[in-house]
Amino acid sequence: MRIVARRHEGYAHDVELEGHDLRVDEPHEVGGTDTGPRPTQLLGASLAGCIAITVEMYANRKGWPMTNCHVAVHFIRTPDKAESIERALTLSGDLTDEQRARIADIAERTPVTLTLKKGLTITTTLLQRPASRAAPCSRLPARRDGPSSDAARR
What are the residue boundaries of the structural domains of the chain, listed by start?
Answer: 1-37, 39-114
In this predicted structure, what is the pLDDT of residue 129?
Answer: 78
Backbone angles phi, psi at 77, to 5 degrees: -130, 120
pLDDT, one tens digit per residue, over 51-93 is 999 999 999 999 999 999 999 999 999 999 999 999 999 999 9
Spatial distance between the Cα atoms of 93 and 54, rounded to a whole number of angstroms: 17
pLDDT, one tens digit per residue, over 12-23 is 999 999 999 999
Contacts 24+ apart (CB under 8 A), 102-107: 103/55, 103/58, 103/59, 103/66, 103/69, 106/54, 106/55, 106/58, 107/51, 107/54, 107/55, 107/71
CATH topology classification for 39-114:
GMP Synthetase; Chain A, domain 3 (3.30.300)
pLDDT, one tens digit per residue, over 94-148 is 999 999 999 999 999 999 999 999 999 999 999 987 666 555 555 454 444 444 3
Nearest to 135 by CA among 13, 11, 9: 13
In this predicted structure, what is the pLDDT of residue 137?
Answer: 52
Q: Strand pairing of 3-9 and 12-17?
A: antiparallel
Whether residue 41 has pLDDT greater than 70: yes
Whether residue 152 has pLDDT greater than 50: no
Gyration radius (Cα) of the chain, Å = 19
In this predicted structure, what is the pLDDT of residue 131?
Answer: 62
